[in-house]
Structure 1
Amino acid sequence: MGAPKHAAERYTYGECLRWPDDVRYELIDGQAWMMSPVPSIEHQDIAGDLYFQLRQALQGAPCRVFIAPVDVRLPRGDEADGDIDTVVQPDVLLVCDPGKIDRRGVRSAPDGVVEVLSPSTAARDQIAKRRIYERAGVREYWLVHPTDRTLTVHTLVDGRYGIPEISELKDSTVLAILPDVAIAWDALVARLPAVEP
């Protein structure tokens, strides 16, 4: 089976596994969304730095951090992997339950997710993926806005994301789910290309 040709069709993870390896897709409620072929250098620098900082901070801890591409399968119940209709590849993800990790990636909600916004995926990250992360139970969802130099943090409380916390990418930001872990921004932001007026 080739890659999907009609966005209106519904797909499952089982079907995705038969698509060509050179094109990456995410599934959101059965709808296939093509991933950006090559992220910008700014996007890569931010995602890589966050992964590096988290990896260093979590040495010796039970939590593990991963960087895209890693399939995160988000079942609605106890359906088999092949029947799951929501599979995403967050830029950076944090998993504290080793039982969720297998050879294919992660099954069930990560504890934390970071998406670095790109023009081609910003709307999906801020709307559709926010909704599915909330539904799945992702405890903390970060959206890094490279152009605006801001961070939007959604924290799960009683199964819902409340009002997001928005801050500048400066000083440091403590993870709500791991209060001993903070991301430092200043050196990272200093490396990024200047924002054009």
Structure 2
Amino acid sequence: MSATTTTSRLTTYDDYRHLPDDGKQHQIIEGELYMTPAPTTVHQRVLLNLFRLIDPFVNDNRSGEILIAPIDVILSMTNVVQPDLVYVAQERLNIITKKNIVDAPDFIVEVLSENTETIDRQKKMALYEKHKVKEYWIVDPSEKTIEQFVLKENSFHLRATISGNQNFSSVVLEKLTLAADDIFG
């Protein structure tokens, strides 16, 4: 089953706030409402591994805050997404409100699933680039790879594709070094 578009008219954050709680993930990308089923157990395990590896680093360095889905990130009234993992730097913590995040996080991770791969690789990547997310990882559990994109001169550039026991470092979270094997368990 793939993500489905559910409207043909422009959807706004006001419309989104009134959606029923149906157990599905809802997001608005360029005014189109997307709906996907809950993530798989593999997806959730990878996401938890990422959180367990990154959160202690962020806390120890008091560099900001890490949050995991579901959390609404409001990029505009017609762009509301729920990334799998977000990091907001200490000096920008004011964008985190009681209900959501109201600007682009500094770093975003999307864990691919068969339902979201096209959206994560195309629509969301373009959206994150447009809103100047500094670093974006696409984590592929089926291929056991991580693609690391870094914003340079207003566009994403592939910095590395990592797999196996290869180590890589975050640009935004300086001195954070991980191995792909640690993420995929």
| Same fold flag (TM > 0.5) | yes
Contact kept, 8 Å, 1:151 with 1:169, in 2: the verdict is no
Query: Which region of structure 1 is more displaced relative to structure 2, 157-166 or 112-121?
Result: 157-166
Aligned partner of 2:25 in structure 1 is 24
3-state SS of the aligned residue for 2:51?
helix
TM-score by length of 1: 0.84
Contact kept, 8 Å, 1:137 with 1:156, in 2: the verdict is yes
Q: AA paired with 1:55? A: D
Aligned partner of 2:69 in structure 1 is 68
3-state SS of the aligned residue for 1:162?
strand
Runs (4+) of structure 1 exceeding 6 A deviation are none
Contact kept, 8 Å, 2:27 with 2:35, in 1: the verdict is yes
The root-mean-square deviation of aligned C-alpha atoms, in Å, is 1.8
Cα drift, residue 154 of structure 1: 1.0
What does 1:30-109 align with in structure 2 at a 5 Å threshold?
30-35=31-36, 37-60=37-60, 61-75=62-76, 84-96=77-89, 97-109=92-104
Query: Who wins on radius of gyration, i.e. which is larger?
Result: 1
Aligned partner of 1:161 in structure 2 is 156
Contact kept, 8 Å, 2:6 with 2:34, in 1: the verdict is no
Q: Which residues of structure 1 form unaligned runs of 5+?
A: 76-83, 192-197
Structure 2 Cα separation of the partners of residues 188 and 87 of structure 1:
27
Using a 3 Å threshold, how does the CA distance of structure 1 residues 188 and 163 change in structure 2: closer, same or farther?
closer
Query: Which region of structure 1 is more displaced relative to structure 2, 143-152 or 171-180?
Result: 171-180
Using a 3 Å threshold, how does the CA distance of structure 1 residues 162 and 184 change in structure 2: closer, same or farther?
closer
Cα drift, residue 38 of structure 1: 2.2
TM-superposition CA deviations, 1:60-114 (whole Å, max 9, x none): 4131000000000002xxxxxxxx0000000011011111100121111100000
What does 1:108-187 align with in structure 2 at a 5 Å threshold?
108-187=103-182
Q: Which residues of structure 2 form unaligned runs of 5+?
A: none
Cα drift, residue 187 of structure 1: 4.0
Contact kept, 8 Å, 2:85 with 2:110, in 1: the verdict is yes
Aligned partner of 1:80 in structure 2 is none
TM-superposition CA deviations, 1:18-67 (whole Å, max 9, x none): 110223310001100002x2211110011111112111111141310000
Cα drift, residue 153 of structure 1: 1.1
Between the two proteins, the alignment pairs up a number of residues equal to 178
Aligned partner of 1:15 in structure 2 is 15
TM-score by length of 2: 0.89
TM-superposition CA deviations, 1:123-171 (whole Å, max 9, x none): 0100000000000010000000111111111100121112452121434
Larger fraction in strand = 2
